[in-house]
Amino acid sequence: MKRGRAKAGGRAGAAAVAALALGLSMAACSATGPASIMGQQTLRIGVKADQPGLGLRLPDGGFAGFDVDVARYVAAKLGVHPDHITFVPVTSATRETALENGSVDMVFATYSITPQRETKVTFGGPYYVAHQDTMVRAGDTAIHSVHDLKGKRLCAVTGSNSWKRVTQQLNIAAILAPAASYSSCVAMLTDGRTDAVSTDDLILAGFAARAGPAVRIVNAPFSYERYGIGIRKGDLSGCEAVNKAVSQMYLDGTAAALLQKWFGKTRLQLDTHVPQFEGCG
């Protein structure tokens, strides 16, 4: 009897350990969210909150912009109703973390695809290819291209690659002026605390439209910025579904309509052709 009870106790203990392990595993899954965006009825999507024309939080708490509209389109193709989308503000510095810890399921936030970011995130798209340019005060006639930033104060947003492209890749000896966001950069530019803001032309166009005659874009692009849709690392089926949705967005004319809606009044030359995808492997 003692031996039988010992065996039963051993089995009970093993079952308890297994149950505990299963519980911890389930807790871990719930902490990081679903492994794939496929089959989900709700989505939490990371967008910028301070970029006019791309991702801007409105006074009523909603979000508006090109990235936001593209996110709604893609989510609809995934079977998620607009009312079941929760937009979550992210910054350039928090995009990877938000995906990794499950705060968001997808990111549409002027998220340029780079080899370094691809080690942490799976990218769908790109859904648009922008070009880096430079914005200065309207009365500044000394800056005509990125090469004129030598010795000038250049705004540097935490988590962004744009300023690194100027100072590290092009080896231009600009003086960095740190900032938390591009809205802060534009404020620093207009009040004289920095001399230039260099980043994607769509971002600059949105801010220039709001700032009016106080600023100007030099119209000297020097890079290709492939805006990707960030999803959790390894979600290949989700990536393939996202790419299919982006293709449809261009083929049915939605992409052209959205670009015209948000940037048609700017002087930017907008590309309405389907971008070349990165691939999901």
Q: Are residues 103 and 153 both part of a single domain?
A: no
What's the confidence (pLDDT) of residue 269?
79
Question: Is the confidence at residue 6, as pLDDT, over 60?
Answer: no
* Tens-place pLDDT, residues 50-71: 999 999 999 999 999 999 999 9
87 and 212, same domain (yes or no)? no
Question: How confident is the model at residue 32, as a pLDDT?
Answer: 47
Looking at residue 14, its pLDDT comes to: 43
- What range defines the domain where residue 88 resides? 43-130+225-263
One domain, residues 136 and 209: yes
Structural domains counted in the chain: 2
CATH code assigned at 93: 3.40.190.10
Residue 46 dihedral angles phi and psi, to the nearest 5°: -80, 130
Asked if residue 154 is part of any domain, the answer here is yes
Strands 85-89, 43-47: parallel, antiparallel or unpaired by DSSP?
Answer: parallel
pLDDT for residue 237 is more than 70: yes
**pTM attached to this predicted model:** 0.80
Check whether residue 82 and residue 144 sit in a common domain. Answer: no
Cα–Cα dist 155/218, whole Å:
16
Residue 83 lies in a domain: yes
Give yes or no for a contact between 156 and 92, defined as CB atoms under 8 angstroms apart.
no
pLDDT tens digits, residue range 147-196? 999 999 999 999 888 999 999 999 999 999 999 999 999 999 999 999 99
Of the candidates 99, 97, 96, the one whose C-alpha atom is nearest the C-alpha of residue 117 is: 96
Which two tokens mark 189? 């530019």
Q: How many degrees, rounded to 5, is the angle at CA 63 between CA 61 and CA 66? A: 170
Q: How far is CA 17 from the centre of its chain?
A: 42
- Locus of tokens 């009016």: 212
By the 8 A CB rule, do 41 and 173 touch? Answer: no
pLDDT digits (tens, 9 = 90+) for 69-115: 999 999 999 999 999 999 999 998 999 999 999 999 999 999 999 99
pLDDT band at 3 (very low <50, low <70, confident <90, very high): very low
The reply to whether 199 falls in a domain is yes
151 and 192 both lie in a single domain? yes
- Whether residue 5 is predicted with pLDDT greater than 50 in this model: the reply is no
Indicate whether 176 and 105 sit together in one domain. no
Residue 277 within any structural domain of the chain? no
Same domain, residue pair 145 and 199: yes
Half-sphere exposure of 193 (CA within 13 A, CB side): 11
CA distance 131 to 158: 19
37 in any annotated domain: no
pLDDT for res 270:
87
Q: Quick check: is 195 in a domain? A: yes
Specify whether 49 is located in the same domain as 124: yes
In a domain, 26, yes or no: no
Task: Considering only residues 267 and 136, tell me which one the structure prediction assigns the higher pLDDT.
Answer: 136
Model confidence at 4: pLDDT above 70 = no
